[in-house]
Structure 1
């Protein structure tokens, strides 16, 4: 397992003209793994069929938003937890804050300790330019 990265130059945020520039590692474009590929792999390492795996994953696509929109966090054990966060406009008084103050909704994923531990086992490979 290796995450490929490239080197990018970035200026100082909020400084006109970018300020002093530094170089950072940045993950390169990744191949997207779709539902079919994921279900095929899950089926190959378990006793569940590919069709059953697709059905379960599709079920999650339908159920997760339902539970999240009802104010729940969703814990998937050693995988992690999904939660909803909202962004709103700032108001001068608590009474002025209402549903129209809310401007955006985000779903976040917080990986479990086990998930994080497995991710730390990764190697890195510098992407060479063509």
Structure 2
């Protein structure tokens, strides 16, 4: 299994005209795997039916936001952990910070140690243009 990449040129951020440009590896456009494809594959490698798998994954779609909005982080064992992070405006005093200071809510996924180890075994393949 290998991750396909392409070579892209990027300038220096914040420099007019891009400054010194360098070349970097970047992942290529990926095929999106939908819920049905994922559930079919999970069913093929387990004793759980495709319908049961879809039901569990749909349940996660409903429960994760509920628990995250209550301030919980959600650990899915060897998969990883989901947490909520806020982006807000900086204020001069603690009293000036309120709900309107919050500009965005981001859900972060932090892979487990085992997950990270499995990703370290990945190979790379240069995409021919």
How many residues are paired up? 129
Name the residue aligned to 1:2.
Answer: 2
Cα deviations by residue, 1:75-112 (Å, 9 ceiling, x for unpaired):
00000000000000111100000001000000000000
Quote the Cα distance in structure 1 between the aligned partners of 2:28 and 2:85: 28
Cα deviations by residue, 1:26-58 (Å, 9 ceiling, x for unpaired):
000001000000000000000000000000000
Q: TM-score, normalised by structure 1?
A: 0.98
Structure 1 residue 125: deviation in Å? 0.5
Q: TM-score, normalised by structure 2?
A: 0.99
Structure 1: state its 5+ residue gaps: none
Name the residue aligned to 1:105.
Answer: 105
Question: Which of structure 1's runs of 4+ aligned residues deviate more than 4 A?
Answer: none
Structure 2: state its 5+ residue gaps: none
Quote the Cα distance in structure 2 between the aligned partners of 1:51 and 1:36: 9
Quote the Cα distance in structure 2 between the aligned partners of 1:12 and 1:84: 31
Structure 1 residue 15: deviation in Å? 0.9
Quote the Cα distance in structure 2 between the aligned partners of 1:118 and 1:31: 21
CA RMSD of aligned residues (A): 0.4
Quote the Cα distance in structure 2 between the aligned partners of 1:119 and 1:36: 24
